[in-house]
Structure 1
Amino acid sequence: MSVKVLSVGGSIVAPEGPDVEFVKKFVSLIKQYLAEHKEDKLIFVVGGGGPARIYQNAFRAVTETSPDSSTEAADWIGIMATRLNAQFVKASFGDLCREAVVTDPTVAEEFTGSVLLAAGWKPGFSTDNDAVLLAEKFGAKTVVNLSNIEKVYTDDPRKNPDATPIDEISWADFRKIVGDEWTPGKNCPFDPIASKKAQSLGLTVICAGGKNLENIKAILEDKNYVGTTIRG
């Protein structure tokens, strides 16, 4: 049996509200994959996306706090959004996902279905870190991080026209890009806290575009794919 862990960005599942067409196609793809790979089990950790940002921004407006401020209250708001998104995706998988949404990766137990859904755990990091902890618990060697970017860039391409995409990068160099601090709602290719933990475990992380379904299938089947591989 092979267990694979995917951190599915909330911006893919719910960029503002739920992306019904994407979730339909995603669930169909995964059902097809599992029908062809009956020994595999998949864990999906779902982010907060648009609902998290909307409510976090509303909270900051009410309390007149800075978007860059790191507050436990803002983190909890984001965590609750991840749980709503994860419950939505779990329900969409029907009988393939038999267990409740995991909200504490350290106590997750073996699951009887082919799919397990997980969401945010506690303040201090994003769902990327939960994905890393689940990979550690279930013996997965790779975490697939699906977001709204196809590759990691040397810098933010929206701000720096000279930024270039990266095919493969070491953890040491990647962590220079994302830094060491987590702020609720922070937009980066892979959470800094998760990156530190993944490096310590010797995990490989693949960052890829979440809307490219054929590419996701290629990653799951260990075929050539478009994305950035972080390892070493």
Structure 2
Amino acid sequence: MTSRKEPWALVHARIDHIPFKRYEQLLNMADVVPRVMEGVASDDVCAGYCMGKMRADDYPRHPEKLVKSAGVLDLVQTDVMGPIQTRTTGGCIFGVTFIDDYSRHVTVFFMKAKSEVLSKFRIYKAAMEKATGTTIKRLRSDNGGEYTDKLFKAYLNLNGIKHEKTVPHTPQQNGLAERMNRSLVEMARCMLYHEGIHKKWRVESANTAAWIINRIPNSVNIKTPYEIVNKANPQLKNL
């Protein structure tokens, strides 16, 4: 743990505006966490946080009577975001997330077309299975064409992955992916607004948000997603 102490406003921005209570939990879960000066007991609401958190009603957290995950990569949830109004610097207008249900570890990719979902899933599968030493058992998604075409079905069948498709018009059945996408959008918006950066840089801000989410505690596990997947404490020295 680092000994330097900085104003809460600065640390708050570096860790993407997470609540102070979550920051306190992080002190015991990660290495080289920036320390704050004395006298902080709760959040001071900043403009970036307010702008980033403007959103619609939440998706219920546990509405679905679906089989939960038993371990890492037992269940991966996925969802597509977009189209995005402002193209990214690379010309992307869609994003896709893959979330390990057990650890809540998230990976986000950006795409020019939804047809790229399969290629992104291949990359995700290879990286996560190498990191964890286990294989993906189930994939949960909506019924979008990018998940139900012949090539995607064939790839899942070839690798023995069971495809769980949600009932049409019930996004709550894929609630984790829906909430994660919203969290990524909100956190990215917070960063862009706080620093006065153009929306075309949303890929970089969303990737940073995912990096941070994987290294902070959540309400489900007593460990960070990074530690569960990699079996090591995350390092935050670059913050």
TM-score, length-normalised on structure 2? 0.31
TM-score, normalised by the number of residues in structure 1:
0.32
Flag the structure with larger Rg. 2
Higher normalized strand content (fraction of residues): 1
